[in-house]
Structure 1
Amino acid sequence: MRDAIRQQAEQVIRRNDRGSYTVPTHGLYPFQWNWDSVLSALGFAHFDEPRAWTEIDTLFAHQWEDGMVPHIIFHEPNDGYFPGPDVYRTGRAVPTSGLTQPPVAGFAVRRMFERARDRDLAERRARALLPRIHAWHEWFHRCRDPQGTGLVAILHPWETGRDNSVDWDGPLSRVSTEGVEPFTRRDIQHANPAHRPTQAQYEGYIRLVQTFRELGWDNTILHDASPFRVADPGFNAILIRSCEDLGWLADRLGEPQIAEQSRSFAARGIAALETLWSEAHGQYLCRDRVTGEAVESLSIGGLIPAFAALPEARMSALAHRIATLGQSCDHLVPSHDPAAPEYDGRRYWRGPVWLIVNYLIADGLRRAGHDGIVGRIMSDSLRLIEKSGFAEYYDPVTAEPCGGVDFTWTAAMVLEILAQEEAPA
């Protein structure tokens, strides 16, 4: 059974391969997405190491001069997706969006470097990527944390990858949609509208893009000018882990300055995450940087910090919180608490299970020695594949496949999970 699943996963990745980059899935997402692409490289690395490195190289070839790495690269014209380059209007030779996404590249490159069978190739490609990834991390701390708090802000729900999370309901509701340009969505032509964000949410998304476009996509001013600024614990934890891993990699590649600064970024971030901890909820909460208030939303964003090197008391609390969620659903980890009134088990990030987040959370918990809950998460993930195939996401109670089908990063995570399952203890 495991061999068949592995072969199917490789086939999904190959079908979505466009030569130098992968698309998340045919139709629904026809371009290169930032964190999809990086996590997909982890899948490629199990059967084609050169192609895995090329995936990340292609993404960073479109890094902006200020260090930002955009969340979409529009390699080829395709009118099947909205919003396209005509909405972003970033003025790049190869069109890109002007937003970014969770910076998992530092983590992924370290993992690929550690596991590489072709050591010369790995050292050469990692050495070339090292300063680029570090420039992206510097950009975050310079442009998204101008007050030097240790935590960076996201300026658009799309930047987190968790587009319609309950976390954004309050902050997004204060974004005026007056003057939003008329648009026709394409996502609901490829996927069930009941699984996707609402029209009202999309109007807020597009109004934010228009605002940033009107400001010339100038990252030196966007943070303070944006009507939407949120410190997301999950996003920050991914940045912290990538800084930590980049520091490790820099040490081994003889780049002590990058190593020292990366470790400093990670340490400051870990300390600052404490300001987002909620003892009452046993998890982290987002903070609305516009109002200064905590966002009372029990989403998976408050559990993703397990991916970072947290103090043991916090790791234990998160493991307990996830185990408690497991009493409310058949498959971990739901993207929102099933007991909360806002929960919707089929609508994108308001309840469904995503294997990529399962993987990140489990990786951190495994490092901290919480093998029991890790086993449950990994077992649940593989059961979803066996029941429902390589879907974009799944209902945590019924295991119904939702969103797109034959999803690249779902397949990549399956290869990672199977490899870890077979690794010696």
Structure 2
Amino acid sequence: DLGIIAILHRATKDLLKMGEQLGLNDARTDYLAQRLQITEQAINTLWCEQSQYFYCRDVLTNSLAKVKTSAALLTVYAGLTSDEQTKIINTATEDFIESSQFSVASTHPKEEKYEPQRYWRGPIWLHINWMIAIGLKEAGFVTTAEKIQDDTRNLVVKSGYYEYFNPETGAGCGGKDFSWTAAIALHWLLD
């Protein structure tokens, strides 16, 4: 799963940085550095040259699951993309943004598998938006990152602190008064 890979990769980089700041240099940090290398060497096995997109791998068929999801957008956050791939992912993110009333849908709205309220088949998750925006901003795509932040803020203003949101209507879905939504809003959206 690209989302898990990307989040874990970024977290591992952060742990190594903390270890460096604390003066740690031992088997634990060596292990983490090795894990980073493995991911960096393998990530392009999830890149489809034909469609210019990262996909999750279907472990049953050992083939790419060619459904465009927001998980691919997290590869920039993880620092796993080449400069060219980063530009391509930014363009893909812009397409996600333009394809629904609110962004970023977890499955691209033009995909056959898209369902705007079905868990991970379309809804917007604020913590995922936050990470996508961080990655794009760090890569220099500030306008795209700010658009995601504005859309995300509009969701909270419109519907409150729900677990996830319908990208077509902005309606809150799942649990109401959800803690991770409130945490992201406090940290990233509210003045």
TM-score (norm 2): 0.92
Per the alignment, residue 281 of structure 1 pairs with 51
Aligned counterpart in structure 2 of residue 333 of structure 1, from 92, 100, 104: 104
Matching residue of 1:395: 166
CA distance in 2, matches of 1:312, 1:358: 21
**Offset from partner CA, 1:113-147 (integer Å, 9 cap, x none):** xxxxxxxxxxxxxxxxxxxxxxxxxxxxxxxxxxx
**Which letter does structure 1 place at the counterpart of 2:153?**
L
CA-to-aligned-CA distance 1:287-313 (integer Å, 9 cap, x gap):
123322111211222222222012222
Q: Is the 8 A contact 2:67 2:113 kept in 1?
A: no
Aligned length: 189
Q: Which amino acid aligns with 1:345?
A: P
Does the residue aligned with 2:98 lie in a helix, a strand or coil? coil
Residues 333 and 282 (structure 1), Cα distance of their counterparts in 2 relative to 1, 3 Å cut: farther
1:271 aligns with 2:54: no
Distance 2:29 2:83 in 1: 24
The 1-side partners of 2:30 and 2:84 are apart by: 26
What CA distance in whole angstroms lies between the structure 2 residues aligned with 1:275 and 1:317?
17
Q: Is 2:61 aligned against 1:294? A: no
Q: Distance in 1 between matches of 2:43 and 2:2?
A: 7
CA offsets 1:67-106 (integer angstroms, 9 cap, x no match): xxxxxxxxxxxxxxxxxxxxxxxxxxxxxxxxxxxxxxxx
Counterpart amino acid of residue 375 in structure 1: E
Equivalent position amino acid for 1:344 in 2: E
Determine if the alignment matches structure 1 residue 249 to structure 2 residue 18: yes
SS of equivalent residue, structure 1 residue 326: helix
For residue 352 of structure 1, the aligned residue among 100, 109, 123 is: 123
For residues 248 and 360 of structure 1, the distance between their equivalents in structure 2, rounded to whole angstroms, comes to 18
Deviations 1:299-349 (A, max 9, x none): 222222222012222222111101011121121110111111221111121
Deviation at 1:371, TM superposition (A): 0.6
- Matches of 2:163 and 2:189 in 1, distance apart? 18
Does the CA contact (< 8 Å) of 1:240 and 1:266 recur in 2?
Answer: yes
Question: What does residue 366 of structure 1 align with?
Answer: 137
Report the 3-state secondary structure (helix = DSSP H, G, I; strand = E; otherwise coil) of the residue aligned with 1:255: coil
- Distance in 1, matches of 2:112 and 2:189, equals 35
Residue from 178, 185, 191 that aligns with 1:407: 178
Are the equivalent residues in 2 in contact too, given 1:366–1:374 (CA < 8 A)? yes
Larger Rg: 1
Aligned partner of residue 294 in structure 1, secondary structure: strand
Where does structure 2 lack aligned partners over 5 or more consecutive residues?
A: none
Report if aligned partners of 1:247, 1:260 keep a CA contact under 8 Å in 2: no
Is the Cα–Cα contact under 8 Å of residues 344 and 350 in structure 1 kept in the other structure? yes
SS in 2 for 1:404: coil
Query: Which amino acid in structure 1 is aligned with residue 32 of structure 2?
Result: S
Deviation at 1:260, TM superposition (A): 3.5
Distance 1:270 1:318 in 2: 17
1:306 is aligned to 2:76: yes
Residue 94 of structure 2 corresponds to which residue in structure 1? 323
**Equivalent position amino acid for 2:74 in 1:** I
Identity value in percent: 33
Residue pair 1:335, 1:350 contacting (<8 A) in 2 also: yes
Gaps of 5+ in 1: 1-231
Query: How many angstroms apart in 2 are the aligned matches of 1:281 and 1:353?
Result: 23
